[in-house]
A and B are shown apart, each in its own frame.
Chain A
């Protein structure tokens, strides 16, 4: 059994769309966009594959209440992943080409994977 490499590069949110565009120019397919709520933040990971099966990932870390720019201007089909992330995690994705407005996954519990107050880190307060 061969084990494939799967590097994950953490990048700034501001460079996300440019890096996605670069991936497309290099001939990558968008494999998936995944989100995980970890240690009080959201990790959004964009997975790509080259024609020779090389699998790479770009990751942005988002604070609760933060937003992520849509990569649909680069990868048109990304709207399914971005609507899914919005509906399950409550994370705002700005500029999606096909925006379902929260009705892609109509779940009984709204945003079931969102960070709850119990799992968020305490908010920082200014010392007086």
Chain B
């Protein structure tokens, strides 16, 4: 048996946008074990709920993450609305769905760019981020902001999108489709990408399910699990099939995300056609009392916002379980046996968001 050594990886590393530390137990070039450590960016956001009015807290919930900010805000609103049994107007649910899918589009394009960069495929990185700008422009035009949208509120949404603008967004995405197809084809079919990502960081279907993997990491192992199937927001009125791959490796995770770009476009186009007329919010009276788990499908996978309230304006408990937190254990298992040079790519393949995970 070769001598084992421990190599520290992170928290600062060129491929990591955020800090996570891994103690890699190595035998020669092979990883025998990986021990993750987090805690570098813990902000204690959950604790703030004890001091902020539950209506205002949506602003903080949105700031848990700079990429899936809208979905964090929406899921928090779902949780409070679940406790209060608030009937959110159908139009607001459709608008939430549109902004959620725009979030998924720009998040996936961001990640695809990062993965291309990690592989050293710079032109592919630039193409991904160039196309992402189109989506961010849609976000800015409809909410006023690119990153923190601030458009969701307890009881509905703050802004409407006109039907004409929705059609314009849907048409714009249709024009973008051929370019995204070209991009997907490179990620899915290019021999150098397949060679770099194929067979790396593999999980079986059973491992992924039992370890609690979520989102594209789980779907890349052949499990068609997508929380949008539970029918929150307007998803129960729209048709879609989760993108699934079966290889369970880094390439499969990439392929799932690339395919989900088109699912998002289809959902936005369906929403633009079906969105009903009507109000975009209901008046919120009184304070919440009870508890509720709200689950949504973020670009990285299932997110949970749990709230517990005692009838006052401050919630008793707010707990967020982000997809990255749930994907840490699968990541650790998937790293066993890989080579040191592959570690950055495998870590990136779960689309880690440490700011989210630590809150």
Q: Which single member of A2, A38, A77 contacts B316 (CB below 8 Å)?
A: A38
Is A121 positioned at the interface, with any CB of B under 8 Å from its CB? Answer: no
Within 8 A of A (CB), among B240-294: 291-293
User: Is the beta-carbon distance between A100 and B37 smaller than 8 angstroms?
Assistant: yes
| A106 vs B227: C-alpha distance when bound (angstroms) | 32
Q: Which single member of A35, A75, A98, A103 contacts B210 (CB below 8 Å)?
A: A75
B46 surroundings in chain A (CB, below 8 A): 113
State the main secondary structure of chain B at its contact with A: mixed
User: Is the beta-carbon distance between B293 and A47 smaller than 8 angstroms?
Assistant: yes
User: Is the beta-carbon distance between A106 and B39 smaller than 8 angstroms?
Assistant: yes
Binary contact readout A42-54 vs B (1 if CB under 8 angstroms, 0 otherwise): 0000010001010
Is B13 positioned at the interface, with any CB of A under 8 Å from its CB? Answer: no
Within 8 A of B (CB), among A74-109: 75-80, 98, 100, 103-107
User: Is the beta-carbon distance between A104 and B210 smaller than 8 angstroms?
Assistant: no
User: Is the beta-carbon distance between B304 and A47 smaller than 8 angstroms?
Assistant: yes
Q: Which single member of B231, B321, B325 contacts A2 (CB below 8 Å)?
A: B231
Is A61 positioned at the interface, with any CB of B under 8 Å from its CB? Answer: no
A1-B93, A47-B304, A76-B210 given; A107·B42 CB < 8 A: yes
Is A3 positioned at the interface, with any CB of B under 8 Å from its CB? Answer: yes
A94 → chain B closest CB, angstroms: 19
Is B317 positioned at the interface, with any CB of A under 8 Å from its CB? Answer: yes
Is A36 positioned at the interface, with any CB of B under 8 Å from its CB? Answer: yes
Q: Which single member of A1, A24, A57, A77 contacts B233 (CB below 8 Å)?
A: A1
Is A30 positioned at the interface, with any CB of B under 8 Å from its CB? Answer: yes
Specify the chain A residue showing the minimal Cβ separation from B42: A105
User: Is the beta-carbon distance between A80 and B37 smaller than 8 angstroms?
Assistant: no
A1-B93, A47-B304, A98-B35 given; A105·B358 CB < 8 A: yes
Is B199 positioned at the interface, with any CB of A under 8 Å from its CB? Answer: no
Q: Which single member of A1, A35, A103 contacts B231 (CB below 8 Å)?
A: A1
| A98 vs B211: C-alpha distance when bound (angstroms) | 14
A107 surroundings in chain B (CB, below 8 A): 39, 42, 44
| A76 vs B293: C-alpha distance when bound (angstroms) | 23
A1-B232, A36-B316 given; A51·B225 CB < 8 A: yes
User: Is the beta-carbon distance between B329 and A79 smaller than 8 angstroms?
Assistant: yes
User: Is the beta-carbon distance between B236 and A1 smaller than 8 angstroms?
Assistant: yes
Is B302 positioned at the interface, with any CB of A under 8 Å from its CB? Answer: yes
Specify the chain B residue showing the minimal Cβ separation from A53: B230
B295 → chain A closest CB, angstroms: 7
A36-B317, A55-B293 given; A3·B212 CB < 8 A: no
B38 surroundings in chain A (CB, below 8 A): 104-105
Within 8 A of B (CB), among A27-42: 29-32, 34-38
Specify the chain A residue showing the minimal Cβ separation from B227: A53
- Partner-A contacts on B (CB < 8 A): 35, 37-39, 42, 44, 46-47, 82, 88, 93, 209-212, 223, 225, 227, 229-234, 236, 291-293, 295, 302, 304, 306, 308, 316-317, 319, 321, 325-326, 328-330, 333, 358
What are 27 contact pairs spanning A and B, CB under 8 A?
Answer: A1-B93, A2-B236, A4-B232, A4-B295, A6-B293, A29-B209, A30-B212, A31-B302, A32-B304, A36-B317, A38-B317, A47-B304, A53-B225, A53-B229, A77-B212, A77-B326, A80-B325, A80-B328, A103-B37, A103-B39, A105-B38, A105-B42, A106-B42, A107-B39, A107-B44, A112-B47, A113-B46
Q: What are the 5 tightest A-B residue pairs by CB atom distance, in nearest-first order? A: A77-B329, A2-B231, A36-B317, A32-B321, A77-B211
